[in-house]
C-alpha cells in the first residue's frame, strides 16, 4: 500500500520502507479507489481533495472531530488516537483477510524510481548555474544520516520533501502549511544544541 507523508509527518515512516513514496503522490491519488487520510488536511497542499477521484472512498483518521469532512466529505470518519486507530484497522484487515492491489503499488513504484518520467531525475543531476533546487537537495540527501535533523524552509521545502529522506520521526522541522518566513535560523539554532548543551551541525534547506 503506497504511503505519502506531509509536513511534520515526514519521518513517521522509516525511509527504507518499501511502502514510502515521495514523488508520485498526485498520480497515485488520481488513480486510487480508496484514500486513507491520517491527520492530513485536504488543504491547498492536497488540492482541497480535487485530485481524488469522485468515486474514490475516503477514510479519514483525526483526533479532532471538527476536521472530519473538511473541504470534502469522508465516507468513513474515525476520531481518536491515530496509532490506536491504525492498529485496529490492521487487526480487522487481518481478521477479514483483506488483500490490497499490489499491482497498483508496482506501477507507482516504477514511476517513483523514474522520478516522474525522468523530469525530476534530470533536475537532480543538472549542472545549471545557479544550482537547481532539486540538485541541491539531492546533494544533501546523499549526505544525510540517521541522526541528522533536517529543516525545511521557504521555497526549497517542497523539493526537499520529495528528495531528502528523513531518517525517523522528529528529525524534520517544518514551518507548517502557511510557510512562515524567518523560522529557519531559529529552528537551526534549536536543532544545533543537544540536550546537554553540545553543538551539532545539521542542514538547513
Is 130 within a domain? yes
Number of domain units in the chain: 2
* pLDDT, position 117: 46
28 and 85 assigned to the same domain: yes
CATH number at residue 193: 3.40.50.970
Contacts of 139 (CB under 8 A, 6+ apart): none
| Burial status of residue 151 (CB atoms within 10 A of its CB: 0-12, 13-18, 19 or more) | buried
Residues 164-180 pLDDT 10s: 878 778 788 888 777 77
pLDDT of 163 > 50? The answer is yes
Neighbours of 59 (CB within 10 A): 16
**Residue at a domain's end among 63, 79, 114:** 114
pLDDT at 51 exceeding the cut of 50:
yes
Name the pTM for this structure.
Answer: 0.73
> Would residue 129 count as lying in a domain?
yes
Residue 128 sits in the same domain as residue 110: no
> Are residue 109 and residue 128 in the same domain, yes or no?
no
Q: What is the pLDDT of residues 18-49, one digit of tens each?
A: 888 877 788 888 888 889 999 888 888 888 99
Q: Of 64, 80, 114, which residue sits at a domain end? A: 114
Q: Which three cell numbers stand for residue 46?
A: 492536497
How far is 124 from 141, CA to CA, in rounded Å? 11
Are both 134 and 153 inside the same structural domain?
yes
**For the CA atoms of 123, 128, 130, 134, what is the dihedral angle to 10 degrees?**
10
59 in any annotated domain: yes
Q: Where are the beta strands (DSSP E) in the chain?
A: 34-38, 57-62, 76-79, 150-151, 172-173, 203-204
Domain membership of residue 61 as a residue range: 24-114
Q: Domain check: are 94 and 47 in the same one?
A: yes
| Higher per-residue confidence, 94 vs 121 | 94
Among 65-74, 104-113, 161-170, where is mean pLDDT lowest? 104-113
Amino acid at each position: 500500500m503506497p504511503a505519502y507523508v506531509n509536513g511534520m509527518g515526514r519521518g513517521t515512516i522509516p525511509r527504507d520502507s518499501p511502502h514510502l513514496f515521495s514523488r508520485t503522490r498526485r498520480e497515485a491519488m488520481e488513480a486510487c479507489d480508496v484514500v486513507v487520510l491520517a491527520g492530513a488536511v485536504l488543504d491547498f497542499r492536497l488540492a482541497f481533495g480535487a485530485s481524488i477521484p469522485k468515486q474514490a472512498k475516503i477514510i479519514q483518521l483525526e483526533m479532532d472531530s471538527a476536521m472530519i469532512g473538511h473541504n470534502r466529505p469522508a465516507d468513513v470518519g474515525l476520531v481518536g488516537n491515530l496509532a490506536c486507530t491504525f492498529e485496529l484497522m490492521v487487526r480487522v484487515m487481518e481478521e477479514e483477510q483483506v488483500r490490497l492491489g499490489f499491482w497498483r503499488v508496482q506501477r507507482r513504484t516504477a514511476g517513483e524510481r523514474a522520478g516522474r518520467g525522468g523530469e525530476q531525475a534530470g533536475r537532480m543531476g543538472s549542472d545549471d548555474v545557479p544550482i537547481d533546487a532539486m540538485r541541491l537537495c539531492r546533494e544533501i540527501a546523499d549526505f544525510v544520516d540517521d541522526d541528522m535533523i533536517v529543516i525545511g524552509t521557504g521555497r526549497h521545502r517542497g523539493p526537499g520533501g520529495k528528495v531528502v529522506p528523513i531518517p525517523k520521526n522528529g528529525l524534520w522541522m517544518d514551518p507548517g502549511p502557511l510557510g512562515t518566513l524567518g523560522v529557519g535560523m531559529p529552528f537551526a539554532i534549536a536543532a544545533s544544541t543537544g540536550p546537554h548543551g553540545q553543538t551539532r551541525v545539521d542542514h538547513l534547506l
